[in-house]
């Protein structure tokens, strides 16, 4: 017989249900905030943080409509997104597209997983790369529900503090590997 996790069983006090509803509301709030970053032409590429033209870009990236931040210089997400477009590092232009090719190539897992999630299609790869941290955040939220059960005010406060810390939210917002 399959047992439901204790978090989902009945017999909870109204206070526990209130805390769980607050946790669920926070998850919905994060997803709604991410959804607001969607652009009909650029998708979720605003999250990646591409700089203005002039920094090295792969030709495959130049052919895809993507958001450019007018105020940002180069930022980590753009380099790993380009690695996702060329995960086998066969294109010699990748060396010019990256600020530090040896350093970036050592951290290629997210680029490979974006390539796999995007099924090798460049437009999809960029979207997958931009949204990977959202998926990881949701997975972490589920795992944290087991470690720091948000069904008490203290548990909810701890769960919220971990998931909504500045560093983790910045990793989600700017498609960074650090989160």
For residue 101, name the pLDDT band (cuts at 50, 70, 90): confident
pTM of the model: 0.85
Q: Please list the residues that pair with 53 across neighbouring strands.
A: 55
Q: In degrees, to the nearest 5, what angle opens at C-alpha 131 toward C-alphas 68 and 97?
A: 45
Which residue is it, tokens 């090719």? 101
Q: What is the pLDDT of residues 17-75, one digit of tens each?
A: 999 999 999 999 999 999 999 999 999 999 998 876 655 788 899 899 998 877 666 67
Q: What is the pLDDT of residues 137-175, one digit of tens each?
A: 999 999 999 999 999 999 999 999 999 999 999 999 988
CA 88 – CA 128 distance, rounded (Å): 18
């Amino acid at each position: 017989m399959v047992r439901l996790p204790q978090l989902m069983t009945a017999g909870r006090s109204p206070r526990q249900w209130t805390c769980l509803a607050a946790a669920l509301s926070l998850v919905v709030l994060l997803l709604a905030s991410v959804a607001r970053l969607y652009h009909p032409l650029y998708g979720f590429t605003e999250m990646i943080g591409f700089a203005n033209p002039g920094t090295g870009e792969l030709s495959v990236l130049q052919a895809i409509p993507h958001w450019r931040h007018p105020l940002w210089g180069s930022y980590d997400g753009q380099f790993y997104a380009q690695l996702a477009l060329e995960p086998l590092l066969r294109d010699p232009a990748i060396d010019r597209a990256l600020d530090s090719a040896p350093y970036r190539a050592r951290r290629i897992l997210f680029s490979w997983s974006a390539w796999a999630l995007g099924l090798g299609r460049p437009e999809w790869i960029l979207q997958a790369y931009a949204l990977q941290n959202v998926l990881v955040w949701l997975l972490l939220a589920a795992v944290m529900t087991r470690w720091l059960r948000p069904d008490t005010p203290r548990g909810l406060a701890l769960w919220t503090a971990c998931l909504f810390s500045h560093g983790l939210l910045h990793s989600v917002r700017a498609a960074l590997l650090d989160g």
